[in-house]
Amino acid sequence: MRLIYTERQKQFREEIRDWLAAHVPKAPLPSFDTEEGFEAHRRWEATLFEGRWSAVTWPKEYGGRGCDLIEWLIFEEEYWRAGAPLRVNQNGVFLLAPTLMEYGSDEQKARFLPRMASGQDIWAQGWSEPGAGSDMAAIRSRAVRDGDHYVINGQKTWSTRAVWADWLFGMFRTDPASSRHHGLTFILLPLDLPGITIRPIKQLNGLPGFAEIFFDDVRVPVENRLGDEGAGWNVAMATAGFERGLMLRSPARFQQTARKLVDLYLRHRESADADPGIRDAVMKSWMDAEAYTLATYRTASRLGKGAKIGAEASTNKIFWSELDLLMHETAMRILGPYGELMPEAPDGGPFGHEHAAWLDGFLFAQAGPIYAGTNEIQRNIIAERMLGLPR
Amino acid sequence: MDFTFEDQQLAFRDAIHKFLMVEAAPEMLREIWETTKSGRSAELRAKLADQGLTALSVPEEFGGINLGDLDWVLVQQELGYFAIPDSLTDAAYLAVYLLTHLPADINLKRDWLPRIAAGKARIAVGHPLNPFVADAANADLLLLWHDDEIHALKPGQITASFNPSIDLSRRLYKVDWTPSPATRICPAKQGRQLWKDLADRAALAAAAQLLGLAQRMLDLGVDHAAQRKQFGKPVGSFQAVKHHLADVAVKIEFAEPVIHRAAQAVAEDDPRRALYVSHAKLAAGEAARLAGRRSIQAHGAMGYTWEADLQMYMKRAWALDASWGDAKFHKARVAADILAGAAAIGPSTTFPNMNPESHHG
């Protein structure tokens, strides 16, 4: 055990810290769930790419720096510390890219990865369908082979950022006689193909953060298939699964929120202490954010030594989503009657305009225990695969 | 940056686990706890000594193997898992720490450290965080706090009155004694820091044991839920029961690295070790309390009986949760750091001070 950074890691931290200080936009960008904000975030991705910071763990040939997971953690710490913008291409960079690296042909990697790293292609994901949510193997959207094309019909839903995204990755049923997780195929497709209709869905905050996608005889070239036909389930669930889960929500994100919560509490301590539970929740927030960070460093160290991580990855999703709820609920308790105010409300009282970010985060925290596999599904996985309880 | 243990440390932990699985079976511990006054077995202590447990952090010059807090923390998790009573930790970890760091009182070290290493001395430690002294009546020597001084007392110099605990592994005594220049082995000036460092190690050990206890209670709950059938199925196949137990697994998963950071912080004299140890004690206590609650629920009525082994581990968890600083104490210490204003918190502050050059073993 050696809980100290190497000189190289310290230099890496300095380098990203200096770069961020010079490049992070001074004023926050508009929400990437608006058209204007989406494009502003796309430009930020391009800026990151120019500094070679948009995908630090990728190999250099695709625009990355070949960083290991410890360096990735350092990058994320500095990124969140600097208050840099959210990553509009996170589904591409953190979810699709590891799968592409593992299953993609050289041609596919060269075609998709650099454009993803530079923000030229922003990716949305197409997993859920009206009849396939937690039960993803119930996917019915079909891709029927016709020569060197697949012809896609069906519907996807809850597709994050699909309203303005350029490309979609998702799973389609290529074998009409198949059921459950057999006969599914992983396909990449541009969202401007003929036959695609995108219907925005308003989220809790009133913005179209996700969309329904309708496919009506959409023709996609066979070369856009990732992995073998019928192997989609395995591609999607591949060994990279854990790293993807790890990278989607870096601990620094929650440490930063916890830091802000402590700060909010300290500045409004007099009123906050009238509810004795608040102080406890503030301390718990800091402790759990630290615990999540420590657990991630441990996992990164183990993976760096060649270990494989199994079902215990499901504990992560539960832990960070509940932590995110705790922190934002606690902030709302401190804000009291100002918590409900929309960002444009002129009279934030003792909280000025800081209430807006907390409300935004509070709303988003409601989704945490639901997306990326509900926490109930995660608990089933833990009970069955980690604890060995019977199905 | 490497947040993993050495293979050697893990191998030692595994060996201790296998050994205790055989030598500290619940029915044997019950026999000792329920039928003897001391609650201790010289035979078991001798076997633990054979495994090297009593010599772990004793310096080599006194017959020990001179290992440190990181080695101990893994062992402590196993001691918790198998509900090994306080006496071993108090003598082999805590008393050894005090004796080893005493200013130059070589006689006392030479008298006692080799005997502890050989498993032939029990030493009780009295600290104001605990109103009672564990195993005081069965101790060959007592190291007691008095206004930050350290006093060493022989059994004949104290009166110990037994205060029964719901946890039968515990033997708690109120100790009456009179401090004198003859009993004083360390003045307050040096004693203050020694007692602080001792209390951090004691709380760390309790935290690691609580984590082991949480794992044991989870395992017992899983075993019961997998075997017990109702409605024609194992009760562990029902989602409500699965989710109860999965929650415990989550708590354990995220308490463990907190405890391991605390161990490293203690080993390296990190300036923030008090914060990290208190965090560890709170996280481990939370995991253990939840494990007890959820495991008794998974056991159903069996869990409320004396017969089911769960009670042994659950009661020990309840006791340890409040020993060497209860949640009130440790929360106050966390608050004193992170709510003091201008504390280093947030991204990049997780391992600020860990300095391998300052290692003291």
Question: Is B134 at the interface with chain A, CB within 8 A?
Answer: no
pLDDT score of B357 more than 90: no
Within the 199-258 window of chain A, which residues sit less than 8 Å (CB to CB) from chain B? Answer: 251-252, 255-256, 258
State whether residue B190 is helix, strand or coil: helix
pLDDT digits over A177-229, tens only? 999 999 999 999 999 999 999 999 999 999 999 999 999 999 999 999 999 99
Task: Report which of residues B81 and B360 the model is more confident about.
Answer: B81
For residue B285, being part of any structural domain is answered with yes
For residue B223, being part of any structural domain is answered with yes
Instruction: Please report, for residues A90, A113, A114, A117, B173, the alpha-carbon distance to residue A110 in angstroms, rounded to integers and kept in the order given.
Output: 19, 6, 7, 11, 73
For residue B145, being part of any structural domain is answered with no
Residue B1 CA to residue A342 CA, distance in Å, equals 43
Question: What does the pLDDT read at residue A241?
Answer: 61
Q: With a threshold of 0.85, tell me whether the complex ipTM lies above it.
A: yes
Active-site entry in A35, A243, A290, A354: A243
For residue B352, being part of any structural domain is answered with yes
Give chain B's domain count: 1
Other Cβ atoms closer than 10 A to A208: 18
Question: What does the pLDDT read at residue B269?
Answer: 95
Q: Regarding beta strands A196-201 and A184-190, do their DSSP bridges make them parallel or antiparallel, or are they unpaired?
A: unpaired
pLDDT score of A159 more than 90: yes
Residue B258 CA to residue B250 CA, distance in Å, equals 13
pLDDT score of A299 more than 90: yes
Question: What does the pLDDT read at residue A83?
Answer: 96
Residue A60 CB-half CA count within 13 A: 1
According to CATH, the superfamily of the domain at A123-235 is Butyryl-CoA Dehydrogenase, subunit A, domain 2 (2.40.110.10)
The domains of chain A are located at 7-117, 123-235, 249-386
Could you tell me the CATH number of the domain that includes residue B196? 1.20.140.10
Residue B341 CA to residue A28 CA, distance in Å, equals 26
pLDDT > 70: percent of chain B:
97
pLDDT > 70: percent of chain A:
98
Tell me which amino acid residue A358 is.
W
For residue B334, being part of any structural domain is answered with yes
Within the 163-192 window of chain B, which residues sit less than 8 Å (CB to CB) from chain A? Answer: none
Residue with tokens 């870096």: A250
Question: What does the pLDDT read at residue A307?
Answer: 86
For residue B320, give its domain range: 191-358
DSSP A131-163: TBSS-GGG---EEEEETTEEEEEEEEEEEETTT
Q: Which CATH number fits domain A249-386: 3.40.1180.10, 1.20.140.10, 2.40.50.140, 1.20.1250.20?
A: 1.20.140.10
Domain made up of A7-117: CATH architecture: Orthogonal Bundle (1.10)
pLDDT digits over B62-105, tens only? 999 999 999 999 999 999 999 999 999 999 999 999 999 998 76
Residue B133 CA to residue A136 CA, distance in Å, equals 58
Residue A338 CA to residue B247 CA, distance in Å, equals 34
Q: Name every chain A residue with its beta carbon within 8 A of the beta carbon of B295.
A: none
Question: Is A298 at the interface with chain B, CB within 8 A?
Answer: yes
Going by pLDDT thresholds of 50, 70 and 90, the confidence category of residue B358 is very low
A316: nearest Cα among A339, A292, A284: A292
Residue with tokens 């947040």: B3
Question: What does the pLDDT read at residue A242?
Answer: 56
For residue B64, being part of any structural domain is answered with no
State whether residue B2 is helix, strand or coil: strand
Question: What does the pLDDT read at residue B361?
Answer: 34
pLDDT score of B360 more than 50: no
Residue with tokens 């996985």: A381
Going by pLDDT thresholds of 50, 70 and 90, the confidence category of residue B356 is very low
Within the 50-89 window of chain A, which residues sit less than 8 Å (CB to CB) from chain B? Answer: 70, 74, 76-78, 80-81
pLDDT score of A44 more than 80: yes
Question: Is A302 at the interface with chain B, CB within 8 A?
Answer: yes
